[in-house]
Amino acid sequence: QKEVEQDPGPLSVPEGAIVSLNCTYSNSAFQYFMWYRQYSRKGPELLMYTYSSGNKEDGRFTAQVDKSSKYISLFIRDSQPSDSATYLCAMSAYTGGFKTIFGAGTRLFVKA
């Protein structure tokens, strides 16, 4: 079993839809939870960063962490064609040094 599981998709939605992206994990030591967006032939870009459980909102993006269920989500409201990209979840634990594990990424297509 991988430490971080993420459905690779692709996920295709119409413009304006609410998008829900999810990851599950197995290591209860993870404390930091991140979402990155990666456009084709570009490096990942950090979108959201959360410590421990709870919600965090930034514009059209909301990140949720449920440590009891080992489940994290990213919601995108009013999705736009420019949101079409691969979204990677990532998680970190401090075990003498920081270890960040990335999910496989979900490809999202937002159709105009």
Partner 1 sequence: DAGVIQSPRHEVTEMGQEVTLRCKPISGHDYLFWYRQTMMRGLELLIYFNNNVPIDDSGMPEDRFSAKMPNASFSTLKIQPSEPRDSAVYFCASSLVPQPQPQHFGDGTRLSIL
Residues that bind partner 1 (CB under 8 A): 32, 34, 41-46, 49, 88, 90, 92, 97-100, 102-105
Nearest distance from C-beta of residue 32 to partner 1, angstroms: 6
Nearest distance from C-beta of residue 38 to partner 1, angstroms: 8
DSSP at 81: G
Helix (H) or strand (E) holding 12: strand 11-14
Nearer to partner 1 by Cβ, of 13 and 22: the residue is 22
Nearest distance from C-beta of residue 78 to partner 1, angstroms: 26
- CA of 29: how far to CAs of 43, 85, 99, in Å? 27, 29, 11
User: What 3-state class would DSSP assign to 82?
Assistant: helix
